[in-house]
Every structure is written in C-alpha cells, then in structure tokens.
Amino acid sequence: MPPKKLTSKAKAAKKQPSASYSQFASTTQSGACRMLFIGGVNDQRKEVTSATRTAMMAKSRWAVRNSPIYKQCADEAVLISVGDGLVAQSLAKNPQTAVAYDKYFRDWSVRCDLTRRYNLGQLQTMWMLGALIDGDSFGILTNDPKTGVPAIQILEAHRVGSPRTEFNDRNVDGAYLGTYGEIVGWNVYTDDQTKDRYVPSSAMLQVMEFERPSAVRGYPVLQSSLNSVQDHLEVFGLEVRAARDSADHTLILKKQGGVLQDDPAARFSGDANSCEKLASQMGGKMLVVDTNEDLSQLSQTRPSPAWIGMMTAIERDIVRLLPYEYQVTPGVLGGSSVRLVAGRVSRWANKWQSILIDSLDRVYDYVIADGIAKGKIPDDPDFNRKSWITPRDITVDAGREASQDRADLQMGLTTAQAILGKKGMTYDEVLEQRAVEMEKLVQKAKDRSLPLWMLYQSAFNWLQQGQASAQTPSDVADNLDIPPPPETSNP
C-alpha cells in the first residue's frame, strides 16, 4: 500500500521553537570567566599548522637558552630515559651468531652518523632532546658515500617542512600523505635555498610523542609552560632589581626642613669636638644629626615569603614533564612518597624508551641486514630479533630491591637477564667477564701454589663456621673444588 499523502493541515504544521542550551558548564559562557577564542574541532595536522609549530619551536629553543629550570627539565628527562644509551642484545637462533651480531653492531655504533662524529648513544640523546624541545627529530638511513658503510644522517625539526618552490596539496608540514593518510615520504630542506630533497618514509626515522592518530608533526612537550617560563624570568629579574635597589640604600635621613650641614656638631661645639676627632679618639664611626632629624637604617625584607610562594607556583606550572618533587625539592619527600615519585619517573622513562626503540629497531635491522648481505656476518632466520637494554632504573632502596631480586631468582620467578637489564647490563657480558676472571683465578692459584678457594672466597672463613682444621683441604691449585660446608652436629 502506498503511503498516505499529507493533508493540508499537516503541511501547515511548523516546528515549535525550543530553547537551545547546554547542561555542561564547560561549554557555556559565564560573566565570571573571560571568553575563550577557540577554533573549530579538526585533525591535529590541521590544528597545528606549520606556522604555529615553528613559532612554538622558536620559543621553546629560546626557553632552553635562557631558562635554567626549562633546561633542567629537558636534561633530567634525557638522563633518566637515555642515560649513556640503550644497548641492543641479539636474540638470534644461533648463540654464536647472536654474539657476532652484538659485536658487529657495537663496533658500528662507535661512529655511526654520516659525519663520523657521534656514536649511537649521542644520537639517542639528540633525538630525545629534539623531540622534547622542538616537538620531533629525524634521521635518514643512508650509507657513507666513501666507504659504503651504513650511516645515519640526523636532522633537526626545522630541516623538514613543506616544499618551498611549489604547492602540493598532498604535503602536510613536510609529510607526503597517501590515499589513507599514511606517510609515504618527507620533504627535507637542503642548504640550497631553491632545492628540496624527497626522502621516502622507509628511509626516514621520526622520533616524537604521538598524542592523536591524525598527528603528522609534533610540538614541544612543554609548550603549555612557555608563557610561565617567561613570567618566571621576568618576575625573578624584577625582584632581583628591587633587592639590589633596597640593598644599595641602607640609611634614610628624616628632616623637618632646612639644609643638611656637613658637620652640625662641629658648628655648635667647636672644632675641637668635631665628629671626625671624636671618632679618631674613640674608634669607629659617629653620626650626629641636627635638631628634628632622624637617621634610621633600612631593614632588608626581600624576597618576601609571598614572593617565594608565587615563584614556587610558577615553577610547578613549568615542571610538568617530571614530578616537581623529583626535580626541584627531593628533600621534602619521605616514606612511601619517595617510592611513588620514583615509580612515576620510571613509568615516564619507559614510555620514551619505547618511542626511541621504535626507531632503534629499524636502525639495527638496517645495519645487520647490510652486514649479512655483504658477507661480514653469518645469516640467521631470526637476525632481526633483539632486545634493548635500558639504563639503570630509578630506585630509592637499592638494597631492598636487590635482596628481592635474588629471592625471585632463587624461586624461579625471574631470570638473570631481567635483573641485569635493570642495571643496564647483559647476561652475555657478565658471563664472559666471569669466565675471564675465573681463568685469572685459576692461573694465579697455580702460579702461587694456593688452593683455588682461598682466592675465590677469600673473605669466607670456614674455620669460623665450625669446620676443623683437619677438614681444610691441603691440596694446591690442582684441586679446584671448594671445601665442603661444615657438618652439622647432633646435640
């Protein structure tokens, strides 16, 4: 059945007007708050334009050069996240091949940038600083044109941007986007002001914190604190000027009128009793004022407690990267608060370490694959499997955590590599070093004709544990066994 036609009465019906309002106070205007000029909601790559990002980057670099607390924030973040550099450990199927991969990659890491000036740890530091201060940083996987050895060309954020000679609607702030919004290439500025360079995404490394899926470029992590940095410097400078002016004027003379005489006392009492002669006889300095005059000393009251509190509030607004107590006032923490702050710092460091590892994985694969292709190292089906050893974790109770690690290892709840990884070491390195030390112990025991246990456990006195002297082995270094523990006696 076809639908019924609308009657004339129905056609004439109009929508009744209704009030439009929001029950959310955050979306309504109030006379108690100033109006915010907010743009429309859009993708981040459209909200953060190239001009906006460049302006934030310039002000952030200014803050690093002039604000000690801003510089401290960036340095502390790099220190706990990168330290002396993340170290790769191969997980290849063949153990001997894994050792060869580790040695090959570490030898390459000594001078790995295109200029042959920086090692891999320094590149990690520069990548992290660039991501924090500029918003992102880049690296190009390339080869040394002279030797053909793999190299990394590190780039700062201002070296990547939109084409300068022509407009391309597929390029967003230096990134060429594909059909689905994926990044297929980058536009890199060269020293030649009229020529840009296209770099495919497969060869470009980008280190940044992705906050939204529509992001293409990053902005400074502390950009929301840049105005507070300027307030902090200006307020501090004004207070320093006021304190210097106050310290420069130490005395104040209150007069009822007339002029100030050079020596009023000498005028009335005669030259014999002048202030200069009295001071020379009595020692020190004597100040004499005229009638109705008062000479008082100004007391120094700067900086005031209110000013110190205001500066603390501004500093807290700046220090948002890491906990304020960790960076500025660690002495006020105590008890469980110390572990809470240390845990937050470790979580933050782990986040940025994972960001760096995303790029470091590509570097490792590129270098190892090149070495395999050139026959310098053997092939392995798992050549690209690896783990990264991060710097030592932040801890406030090293003895307690070490004791717990040993207990977990004895119970089989963890591994030696997991414990050594917290200290920035690998199990292969420790095992190799232990083997070298044991070889030296055995050789030294034979050279000196001493039992091995005397050198291996020189601080352990078996006689103090109830072992009789007859139980102590008299053999020399040919007997490599450690003395048995003392026998238990039944009462």
**DSSP label at residue 275:** H
> Taking a C-beta distance cutoff of 8 angstroms, is the pair 128, 81 a contact?
yes
- Indicate the average pLDDT of the chain: 80
Determine the pLDDT at residue 460.
52
- pLDDT tens per residue, range 315-360: 888 887 777 666 666 666 666 677 777 788 888 888 999 999 999 9
Determine the pLDDT at residue 290.
65
Could you give the CA distance from residue 189 to residue 198 in angstroms, rounded to a whole number?
9
Position 419 confidence tier, pLDDT thresholds 50, 70, 90: confident
Determine the pLDDT at residue 490.
57
Indicate the helix (H) or strand (E) that contains 138: strand 137-143
Could you give the CA distance from residue 41 to residue 252 in angstroms, rounded to a whole number?
61
Instruction: Categorise residue 375: left if φ over 0, alpha if ψ from -120 to 50, beta otherwise.
Output: left
- The dihedral formed by the CA atoms of 393, 394, 396 and 397, expressed in degrees to the nearest 10: 0
Determine the pLDDT at residue 469.
46
- pLDDT tens per residue, range 242-290: 888 877 766 666 666 655 455 554 544 455 555 555 455 555 555 666 6
Q: Which of 98-102, 177-181, 393-397, 405-409 has the lowest mean pLDDT?
A: 393-397
Instruction: List helix spans (H) across 44-168.
Output: 44-47, 50-66, 68-81, 95-109, 120-133
Parse the chain into domains and list their residue ranges.
45-158+201-221+321-393, 223-249+300-318, 251-297
Does the pLDDT of residue 179 top 80, yes or no? yes
Determine the pLDDT at residue 280.
57
Residues in the chain: 491
User: Which one-letter amino acid corresponds to residue 433?
Assistant: Q
Does the pLDDT of residue 116 top 60, yes or no? yes
- pLDDT tens per residue, range 284-315: 555 666 666 776 776 777 788 888 888 888 88
Position 126 confidence tier, pLDDT thresholds 50, 70, 90: very high
Position 136 confidence tier, pLDDT thresholds 50, 70, 90: very high
Strands of 159-266 (E only): list them. Answer: 171-172, 175-177, 183-189, 196-200, 204-207, 251-254
The two three-digit tokens of residue 478, written as one number? 């040919």
**SS3 at position 30:** coil
Could you give the CA distance from residue 338 to residue 335 in angstroms, rounded to a whole number?
6
Could you give the CA distance from residue 188 to residue 158 in angstroms, rounded to a whole number?
9
Does the pLDDT of residue 201 top 90, yes or no? yes
User: Partners of 89 in the beta sheet?
Assistant: 387
- pLDDT tens per residue, range 77-92: 898 889 888 989 898 9
Determine the pLDDT at residue 485.
57
Q: Which of 26-35, 228-237, 448-457, 472-481 has the lowest mean pLDDT?
A: 472-481
Indicate the helix (H) or strand (E) that contains 90: strand 87-90
Give the distance from CA 376 to its chain's centroid. Answer: 36
